[in-house]
Chains A and B, each alone.
Chain A
Amino acid sequence: DTAVSQTPKYLVTQMGNDKSIKCEQNLGHDTMYWYKQDSKKFLKIMFSYNNKELIINETVPNRFSPKSPDKAHLNLHINSLELGDSAVYFCASSHRQDTTDTQYFGPGTRLTVL
């Protein structure tokens, strides 16, 4: 069984479009995250959600909006896509936010903005 899954795996779209990436975890974890990994492999946290509450919101453009319909899902919606948004986006989850519980990553969504 896949622990953390993301869809789609690949996403190619035009500048200016709006797109969503979905993430689901079946680990029963309380906290979920979105990371962006650029072409140089630098992994940077974008958001995390704990029990449906946004608890970390790094300095990302407000075109990016995380949406969590329930504890097992954290979707990422991106408005007005820009060329610089091209990257691999990883979803991750951990048991709790304030412990040392490790994060489990999904396979990533490779976004290409043309």
Chain B
Amino acid sequence: QKEVEQDPGPLSVPEGAIVSLNCTYSNSAFQYFMWYRQYSRKGPELLMYTYSSGNKEDGRFTAQVDKSSKYISLFIRDSQPSDSATYLCAMSVAGNQFYFGTGTSLTVIP
């Protein structure tokens, strides 16, 4: 079983839709949870970072962590064509070794 599971998609939504991206994990010791965005042929860039359980909001993006269910989510409100990218979740026990999901490919259609 992989440490981190993520549905690869692809996910296609109309502009303005609310997007929900999810990851599950097996290691209950994970405490640091991150979402990266990766445009085609580019390196991943950090989008959101949360520690332990709870929600974090940044503009149109909201990250949620449910440690009891070992489940994390990224919501994108009012999605834009520029949000079209692959979204990778990542998590870590102590902020050092990061385990990445396989990424979900998102396309926002104008």
Contacts and interface: CB of A to CB of B under 8 A. Distances in A.
Given A4-B43, A107-B42, A102 B100 contact: no
Q: Give the interface SS of chain B, mostly helix, strand, loop or mixed.
A: strand
B46 A41 contact: no
A105 B41 contact: no
Interface string B34-45: 101010011111
Given A40-B8, A40-B102, A100-B51, A45 B97 contact: yes
Contacts of A98: 94-96
B46 A42 contact: no
A91 to B, nearest CB: 8
Contacts of B105: 41
Given A43-B88, A90-B44, A105-B43, A97 B100 contact: no
A97 B96 contact: yes
Interface in B38-76: 38, 41-46, 49, 51
A100 B52 CA distance: 12
A101 interface: yes
B79 interface: no
B100 to A, nearest CB: 4
A102 B49 contact: yes
Interface of A: 4, 40-45, 48, 55-56, 90, 92, 97-108, 110
8 contacts: A40-B102, A41-B38, A42-B103, A44-B100, A90-B44, A99-B95, A105-B45, A106-B43
